[in-house]
Amino acid sequence: SPDDPSEHIKIIKIEKTNEPLGATVRNEGEAVIIGRIVRGGAAEKSGLLHEGDELLEVNGVAMRGKSVHEVCQVLGALSGTLCVVLAPRRAVPAAPPPHRVLHVRAHFDYDPEDDVYIPCRELGISFQKGDVLHVISREDPNWWQAFREGEEDQTLAGLIPSQAFQHQRESMKLTLAGEVAARDKPRKGGTLLCAKKPPRKKKGKKATSEAGYPLYSTSGADEYEQEEILTYEEVALYYPRASHKRPIVLIGPPNIGRHELRQRLMEDSSRFAAAVPHTSRPRKDHEVPGQDYHFISRTQFEADILNRKFVEHGEYEKAYYGTSLEAIREVVNSGKICVLNLHPQSLKILRNSDLKPYTVFVAPPSLEKLRQKKIRNGEAFKEEELKEIIATARDMELRWGHLFDMIIINNDTQRAYQQLLNEINSLEREPQWVPAHWLKHT
C-alpha cells in the first residue's frame, strides 16, 4: 500500500554525544514523527533529519508503537554513531527563506513550566520583562526558536511563544476574564453585561509638575484608554556617539528623591544640563531669555502645543509652562547630557522623536524601609502618604514599566546617585539595545 513506510525508507548515520541530537519527536498514532529540528544541534548540522520524517529504527531498536517518552529514554542512553532508519515525509515543501535574526525585548514574564501550550517543555526558555531575546527561527508561526541575551553559548536554541501566539493567548484571556466578570456579577434590572475587558485599574491622580501645576503631555491621553497587549518589541544595538548624548529621563512617584538626584547630577555643569523651559508669563527684570526661560506669547504657546512641540506642558497662575523637544535638542547639540524629570505620559512623544532618551524609574523601597528612611532623615510623614507613594509607584510600573530602561530603588540617596552615575557612564562606553525604529531613520 502507498502508506506502507517500508516502501521508501532511508538509512542515515549520525554522530551523537551525551547531548541530545537536537530534534523533537511526537506521536501520531503508532508512529514516531520528527516534530522539529532545533538550531545548534547535531541533527540540524547533519541536515539528515527533517520535520515530518518518521523514525522507524535506531540501532536496531524498532520505534513504531513507542511513546515519545520511551523514545526519549532509548535515545538518551545512546551515544556514538547511530544508525537511524527513517521514512522521509512524502511531500517536501520548499525550504522557507532563512529569516534574519530578530532581536526583541520581552515585555512579559515567561516560565515554560507554567505553560500548557508549549509543545516541548524541555526546550522552553524562561525569561523576564526586559530580557533581550535573539530569535533565530520563526519557521513555526506559534513557537520561535531563540537564545536569551547572555546565554548565546547555549548549544541548542530554546522555544519561546511567537508574537502572534502570545498576542492571541493574551487577548483570549482578556475576553474570558471579561466574560467571567460579566457572569459572576449579579445583574441589575436585567441589564445585559457584555464587558469584554477586566475592570480597569483605578486611574492615578492627575499629573503635576514639581512646581505643583497640572501637567499635560502632548501625546494625548487616549493611548492608555485601550488595553494594550504587550508582547515583544524589536530592538537594535545602538553604539554610543560623542555627538549625541542620550537625554536621561527620571520617572517616578513624588517625594522619592527624583528632584534631588537631578540636582546632584546638574552640579557637574560641564557634563549635565537642563532643558530651558518655555513660558507665556512676562519676563521679570532679572531673568535672561533663553537662559531662565524661553519667553513666548500665549498665542504662540497654544500654537506650539497643537504642533506637538512640547514633551509636556501645564498651566500655573494663568501662564503656560512647558518643556519643548527643541529645548532638549539644544542641550544634546551642545554636547551635554540633558536631565529631565517627566511624567510617564510624556515619554511617548519623546520616544517617538530622534532624541533616544534613556529612562530611569526612581522607585521607593518597601514600606518599612521607606518609613525608616523618613525617620533617619528626620522628615515628618504620615503613614497614609507612604502607602500612597508605594501604590503610585506600583501603578506606574504596571502601566509604563515596559518603557523603563533601568529601575533604581532609592533607599539611600548617595547610593542611588552613584548607581545612576555609573549607568550614565556606561551608556557612553557600551552599546545598548534600543527600539529598532530609532535606528531606521538615522
Partner 1 sequence: ALAALGAQARRKRATRGTYSPSGQEYCNPRAEMMQHALKPPPEERLI
Which residues contact partner 1 (rule: CB under 8 A)? 20-28, 35-36, 38, 68-69, 71-72, 75-76, 111-117, 119-126, 128-132, 142, 148, 150-151, 154, 158, 168-169, 172-173, 176-177, 180, 404-408, 419, 423, 426-427, 430-433
CB of 418 to partner 1, least distance (A): 13
CB of 143 to partner 1, least distance (A): 9
**CA nearest to 260, candidates 323, 191, 210, 329:** 210
Decide whether 27 or 208 has the Cβ nearer to partner 1. 27
Decide whether 84 or 328 has the Cβ nearer to partner 1. 84
Decide whether 114 or 268 has the Cβ nearer to partner 1. 114
Contact 101, 134 (CB under 8 A): yes
Buried b (16+ CB within 10 A) or exposed e, 164-186: ebbeebbeeeeeeebeeeeeeee
Amino acid occupying residue 70: E
Decide whether 128 or 297 has the Cβ nearer to partner 1. 128
Decide whether 34 or 342 has the Cβ nearer to partner 1. 34
Decide whether 353 or 419 has the Cβ nearer to partner 1. 419
Decide whether 22 or 344 has the Cβ nearer to partner 1. 22
Amino acid occupying residue 239: Y
Q: What angle do CA 113, 119, 125 make, to 5 degrees?
A: 45
CB of 109 to partner 1, least distance (A): 10
The span from the CA of 361 to the CA of 407, in Å, is 5
DSSP string, 227-277: -PPP-EEEEEEE--BTTBPPPEEEE--TTSSHHHHHHHHHT-TTTEEPPPP
CB of 126 to partner 1, least distance (A): 5
CB of 27 to partner 1, least distance (A): 7
Contact 72, 25 (CB under 8 A): yes
The span from the CA of 48 to the CA of 61, in Å, is 19
Contact 285, 275 (CB under 8 A): no
CB of 171 to partner 1, least distance (A): 11
Q: Is 52 exposed, middle or buried, given 0-12, 13-18 or 19+ CB atoms closer than 10 A?
A: middle
Q: CB-side exposure of 171: number of CA atoms within 13 Å?
A: 10
CB of 2 to partner 1, least distance (A): 24
CB of 124 to partner 1, least distance (A): 5
Longest pairwise C-alpha distance within the chain: 100
The span from the CA of 317 to the CA of 319, in Å, is 6
Contact 81, 107 (CB under 8 A): no
Decide whether 87 or 123 has the Cβ nearer to partner 1. 123
Decide whether 76 or 335 has the Cβ nearer to partner 1. 76
Contact 312, 346 (CB under 8 A): yes
Contact 301, 324 (CB under 8 A): no
CB of 86 to partner 1, least distance (A): 13
Decide whether 60 or 97 has the Cβ nearer to partner 1. 60
Decide whether 170 or 302 has the Cβ nearer to partner 1. 170
Q: CB-side exposure of 28: number of CA atoms within 13 Å?
A: 10
Residues 6+ apart with CB under 8 A from 377: none
CB of 18 to partner 1, least distance (A): 12
CB of 432 to partner 1, least distance (A): 3
Q: What angle do CA 105, 108, 114 make, to 5 degrees?
A: 125
